[in-house]
Amino acid sequence: MNLKIALVVLGVLIGGLIGYLQRPESAEINIGPIKLEVQTDQPAQGRGPLTSGQMRYVVIFAVIGGVVGLAIAMVADRRKRT
């Protein structure tokens, strides 16, 4: 398997896991067409369903992890060629 692909996948998985573990505690209330979401500064304690804000938080961390993994792969590939 290509080193770049492996490190990007690993970065996405680690970033997603970190984002999931550090997601803010949130409550989402839907009343007809009105959608209200309240978040705190504390990490979530329960394992309930993810709200849209929490999912966005996890995806942002996963993307950051993927970018870091790609950067590490590029540096490793550059050193391998020389």
pLDDT band at 82, cuts 50/70/90?
Answer: low
pTM for the whole thing?
A: 0.76
Amino acid at 4: K
Distance CA 77, CA 20 (A): 30
For residue 80, pLDDT over 80 is answered with no
Under the banding of pLDDT at 50, 70 and 90, the label for residue 1 is: low
For the chain, the domains span: 52-82
Give the residue among 5, 9, 23 at the shortest CA–CA distance from 61: 23
Predicted confidence (pLDDT) per residue in 22-78, tens digit: 888 877 788 888 888 787 777 777 777 788 888 888 999 999 999 999 999 889 888
